[in-house]
Structure 1
Amino acid sequence: MMYIQDIKNILPHRFPFLLVDRITELEPGKKVVGFKNVTVNEEFFQGHYPGHPIMPGVLIIEAMAQVGGFLMMYSVDDDEEKIPLFAGIDKARFRRNVVPGDRLRIEAEVIKLRGRIGKIAAKGFVEDELAAEAELMFAINDK
């Protein structure tokens, strides 16, 4: 299990844009499971939507990309300082709203990995209900 400080040692994101709270499973080169705790205190809920708060789809995708980037960072064999860059998205679908109080469980699996380029399948769940899914591409670059 990896907590927020471990995550901050791997990912470059910081408040208010770090959207991963915990990593509970990690198999480098294979899969990862991470969580985003969605609270009413998130700044984006002020305008999306007043009186009916819904986590924006682009931020759900970003949370999935951050968990996927974490997996990518552990999947490349390279001792240099590096950073995961989101390179593309395919087959994105949103299945249910994510609202304050939800715990978004993100599961990501490697589809293809070639050197510093990779593609993962990511899914976001609230409890056992699929909220979003996409195929995400990454490039690992030097800092």
Structure 2
Amino acid sequence: MKYLFLLFFFLFSICVSSQNKVLVIQQLNSKFTKEINENKRIKVWTKDGEKFYGRFTIKDSTSIIIEEKVVLLEDIIKMKKKSLFGTIANPIFIVYGSFAIIAGAATVGTGAWGALIGGSFIVAGIPMVLIPSISNNHPMQDWKYSIKIE
């Protein structure tokens, strides 16, 4: 039993100590960095006008593979990290925010209390539409992309 435990511990330690590849995004005007682990969902726009979306793997220190195509880091003009939750929830927030703006606009003209309630619907709806649309963008002019192998 003791030898079986040692064998299990040895095999587990080999798995834990394997190399970890990370895509590092560093903001140019500060020292803020984000690390995106391999096999996470990202959306990438290239200089050629192509758009790739999906899980990525790191090929070498200068390129990644996404949708079975090699993309050089120097060819990327914008990158957006896309989680599964964000992919599902963002359209829902945009739709509910749009309905809140429409309902607020419809009730603003109904009177004093209608203006107050309608205005609050509009104020609540605007961030629900704007934040999912503009969040998590990392354009090339503001961010530097690199790969770190641990």
Q: Per the shorter chain, which TM-score range? A: under 0.3
- Structure with the bigger percentage of strand: 1
Which one has a bigger Cα radius of gyration?
2
TM-score (structure 2 length as normaliser): 0.22
- Structure with the bigger percentage of helix: 2
TM-score (structure 1 length as normaliser): 0.23
